[in-house]
Chain A
Amino acid sequence: MTVMEQSPPALAEPEAPAVPPRPRRRRTPATWVRGGGLSTLVFLLPMLIVFFFFSWSPIVQSIVMSLQKTNFIVTEWVGLDNYVAVLADPLLGRAVLNTISFALLALLLGFPLPLFMAVLMSEVKRAKGLYSALAYLPVVVPPVVAVLLWKFFYSADADGVFNSVLGWVGIPPQPWIQSAVQAMPSLVLEATWAAAGGSIIIYLAALLAVPPELYDAAEVDGAGIWRKVWHVTLPSLRGILFIMLILQIIATAQVFLEPFLFTGGGPNNATVTILLFIYNKAFRNSLGGDFGEATALSVMLAIFLGLLSWLYFRLTNRWSTS
């Protein structure tokens, strides 16, 4: 500290003439220290160090690695070869299609359901808290536990949990995640169950903000419940709906946990998603994997999602209700 306090004036001297117009605003390291900059920095330091080691440094390293072929022992520079190779991989198309199919299914199933539930729950007059708690419960279950539990439910045997239930109403046992056709919808079903609670709480909060006079006015005009929902609730929720939609698209583009734990990408690559594809590139091959190609694809995915977020900000600025 003493060293810091002594040296700055000497350093500041040559800088002084460079900024003549506003003498009041002139800042030297000495004034910076006197103004509390040093202690601010010291307080920030733990956070900066953590971010440096666990966020920024890995980001920079992965960009570097995407230009290399490495097994962490032997490393060579290969330029953009990794990007070319990963784009030419026949599985990439499959992974992109699978991810889109997950996103679409999740949108069809997972987007309207929480909204519907929230509207229903907001109409309930008694024990609202209980319903909210019940709806939120799946979110409390750790995701890995939930998936492993559902994997058990999805047993393709006739005495599996879901198949037993189907059996009661005369439906034959389904293969669920053991079938290339049913695997993806099964994954989406679990993901919807797991995530709906969070969305329901957000929608419930948003519904509270809808002025009750609007409903009263609609009622006076003779509107039934569905017309009230259509003409009052949904327009009032426009902003939040849009945010939830874009957040869901970004989240589904990064889906990894479900396919990784449920199916490992199978059967016959029916559930390989982009992130799982990246993971497999890096880690599945026991001989060290292709970290270069994996990071190259990660960088491309990050750029794509960055663009999507930029688009999202542009659009929300223009369409926002406020």
Chain B
Amino acid sequence: MKSPGKVLLAGVAALATVGALAGCSSAGGSADGKTQIRVATFPPGADKAAYDAFAEQEKQFEKLNPDIDIIGVEYEWTGPTFAAQLAGGSLPDVFTVPFTDTKTLLENGQLADVTDAIEELGYTDKFNPIVLDGVTGADGKLYGFPRQAYAMGLHYNRELFEAAGLDPDAPPQTWEEVRAAAKAIAEKTGKAGYAQMAANNTGGWQLTAATIARGGRTQTDDGDGKYTSTIDNEATRAALQFLHDLKWEDDSFGSKVDLDWGTINQEFAAGNIGMYTSGSDVYTALVRDFGMAPDIYGLTVIPLEGADAGTLGGGDVAVISPKADDEAQAAAVKWIDWYYMQKLMDEDAAVLDAETLSKSGQAVGTPVLPVLSQELYLESLEWIQPYINVPLDQMTGFTEGIWEQTPVGEPKGQTQEIYALLDGVVQAVLTDENADIDALLKQADADAQAKLDG
């Protein structure tokens, strides 16, 4: 037998290792009788003021609910991390997911059922029915609280407009005018006149938006969970031809053909892009996460052309992790109701929220689409009127024009997979002057159909 001291030492070392490993998997639970829940806050990169505002709101909530302990967690919806975070238990108990993904997530059993909770809170029938449909499972149950919706808008840089001799108060209204403005900006300033996302599935997302804006659709819903791909259509062809012409004929697209949601915001905030299309609610992120100067910002509706044209809409849903226990789920519902929902329908809550945010210099009044009714949304804007700090006069093109546009939901079959597929098509057109658009569309259509059938 070796010296007992040595063995003891080794034993301690082994125990320490096991302990350290076990520590990895311990999580949450109740401390001093309170129910702890971890809730999503902002994407990484948010400024300190955003966290100050959140800390204030956390305090307000915990005062109302002394038995709940809120822990804010940095969170951004990204495909690469979601499933692994969920499986690994590091996902917050409350987080948000885009409309398009909720159906599949809830079919996969990756979201908690909140039907009873919404019923109890009494606002099941207050939602915009189209929005509510997005969070209803095949079994008729509800799996989340739709909390914010957006429509696609055309964001533009007022400074670059002026430098190019364009009127920033009269933004383009047709795609032809967009093209002409882009050309003017590129020629006069050397910056990209118009840019479009092309990577990490956003290329497909924006191509779909551009298709719908030209009266086309990339997919038809045949019912029973069956879909037909209609990517090979005139509107998509026109949208790609538009990109081709800007890039190769006018040289107004700029050199970056690998931008995604984050990087295009970054480029725009830095003043390198004249115009781009993205969700109408992106102003908040542009200022909070990307440091944009509010003065340069302009927002208008995207041009619609063709008989059945509409603006692609989307949004996100506050959901609860299926791994949270009953107690945590109940606390999570309270938090969602307080943090996300009440400000949409209750004057006091709306005012308190707007006041807290504006005190920390956070954007208040960014244009969105109503998840409840249009009347309620417009009324809520009246309530928070004194706190609105976004330059609404630079967004009138959107705020006045949006009510005449028809919001169209994102395609539902294999949404992200097909977006990824279309990334390649967009990149092909932007990197190859002689790209055969017809052949690309035909191939993409066949590939998409294969994904829909598989």
Interface string of B7-22 (1 = CB under 8 A from A): 1001101101110010
Tell me whether B110 and A263 are in contact (CB under 8 A). no
Is B322 engaged at the interface, CB distance under 8 Å to the other chain?
A: yes
Query: Which residues of chain B are within 8 angstroms of A266 by Cβ–Cβ distance?
Result: 198-199, 257-258, 423-424, 427
Q: Which of B393-449 contact A (CB under 8 A)?
A: 416-417, 420, 423-425, 427-428, 430-432, 447
A155 interfacial contact with B, CB 8 Å: yes
Contacts A266-B199, A267-B431, A288-B82; is A46 near B17 (CB within 8 Å)? yes
Known: A49-B17, A286-B77, A286-B101. Contact between A179 and B10, CB under 8 A?
A: no
Is A39 in contact with chain B by the CB < 8 A criterion?
yes
Known A-B contacts A180-B432, A284-B80; the reply to A264 vs B17 at CB < 8 A is no
Q: Does B140 touch A at the CB level, under 8 Å? A: no
Q: Does B26 reach chain A (CB closer than 8 Å)?
A: no
A73-B86 contact given A49-B14, A268-B428, A287-B105, CB 8 Å threshold: yes
B256 at the interface (CB under 8 A from A): yes
Please encode chain A, from 264 to 279, with 1 for each CB lying within 8 Å of some chain B CB and 0 for all others. 1011111000000000
* Closest beta carbon of chain A to B262's beta carbon, Å: 12
The answer on a CB contact under 8 Å between B110 and A286 is no
Our pick among B10, B13, B79, B431 for the contact of A175 (Cβ within 8 Å) is B431
Query: Does any Cβ of A come within 8 Å of B360's Cβ?
Result: no
In the complex formed, the residue of A with least CB distance to B428 is A268
Instruction: Considering the complex, give the chain A residue whose CB is closest to the CB of B82.
Output: A286
A140 CB within 8 Å of chain B = no
Q: Does A129 contact B (CB under 8 A)?
A: no
In whole angstroms, what is the CA distance A286 to B101 when docked?
A: 8
- A317 at the binding interface (Cβ < 8 Å): no
Chain B residues near A1 (CB-CB < 8 A): 7
CB distance from A288 to the nearest CB of B (A): 4
Contact pattern, B 95-127, Cβ under 8 Å of A = 1, otherwise 0: 000100100110011100000000000000000
In the bound complex, CA of A286 to CA of B17 (Å): 34
Decide if A45 is an interface residue (CB 8 Å cutoff). yes
**A280 partner residues in chain B, CB cutoff 8 A:** 420
**CA of A313 to CA of B257, assembled, Å:** 44
Interface size of B in residues (CB-CB distance below 8 Å): 51
A46, B10: Cα distance in complex, Å: 9
- Say yes or no: is B293 at the interface (Cβ < 8 Å to chain A): no
Question: In the complex, which residues of chain A have a beta carbon less than 8 angstroms from the beta carbon of B79?
Answer: 283-287, 289
Cβ-neighbour of A45 out of B17, B84, B257 (below 8 A): B17
- The answer, among A45, A50, A264, A288, for a CB contact under 8 Å with B258, is A264
Contact indicator A287/B14 (Cβ below 8 Å): no
A173 to B201, CA, bound (A): 28
Known: A42-B10, A267-B428. A50 touches B17 (CB 8 A): yes
Which of the segments A30-38, A118-126, A188-196 contacts the partner chain?
A: A30-38
Q: What number of A residues sit within 8 Å (CB to CB) of B? A: 44
- B residues 229-267 in Cβ contact with A at 8 Å: 255-258
Complex Cα distance, B10 from A39, in Å, reads 7
Select one of B11, B322, B417 contacting A42, CB under 8 A: B11
A71: interface (CB < 8 Å) = yes
Among B7, B77, B258, the residue within 8 A (CB) of A267 is: B258
A53 within 8 A of B: yes
Min CB–CB distance A269 → chain B (angstroms): 5
- Least CB distance from B433 to A in Å reads 11
Question: Is B64 an interface residue when CB atoms closer than 8 A count as contact?
Answer: no
Closest Cβ of chain A to B320, distance in Å, is: 14
Residues of A with C-beta under 8 A to B170: none
Closest residue of chain A to B254, judged by CB? A157
Q: A156 and B2: CB pair below 8 A?
A: no
Is B83 at the interface (CB under 8 A from chain A)? yes
Nearest-neighbour CB distance to chain B for A148, whole angstroms, equals 12
- Say yes or no for B6: interface residue by CB 8 A criterion: yes
Q: Which residue of B lies closest to A45 (CB)?
A: B14
At the interface, yes or no: A130 with Cβ under 8 Å from chain B? no
Contact of A288 among B7, B98, B110, B425 (CB under 8 A): B110
Q: Does B27 contact A (CB under 8 A)?
A: no
Q: How far apart are the CA atoms of A178 and B257 in the complex, in Å? A: 6
Q: How near does chain B come to A178, taking the closest CB pair, in angstroms?
A: 5
Q: How far is the CA of A270 from the CA of B198 in the complex (A)?
A: 14
Question: B193 to chain A: closest CB distance in Å?
Answer: 14
A269-322 residues with Cβ-Cβ distance < 8 A to B are 269-270, 280, 283-289, 291
- Name B's A-contacting residues (CB within 8 A): 1-2, 6-7, 10-11, 13-14, 16-18, 21, 77-84, 86-87, 98, 101, 104-105, 108-110, 198-201, 255-258, 322, 416-417, 420, 423-425, 427-428, 430-432, 447, 454
8 extra A-B contacts, CB within 8 A, seeds A178-B257, A266-B198: A33-B1, A38-B2, A46-B17, A74-B108, A157-B255, A264-B200, A283-B84, A288-B86
Q: Lowest 10 CB-CB distances: which A-B pairs, in order?
A: A286-B79, A72-B87, A156-B255, A288-B83, A283-B80, A42-B10, A46-B17, A45-B14, A268-B428, A267-B431
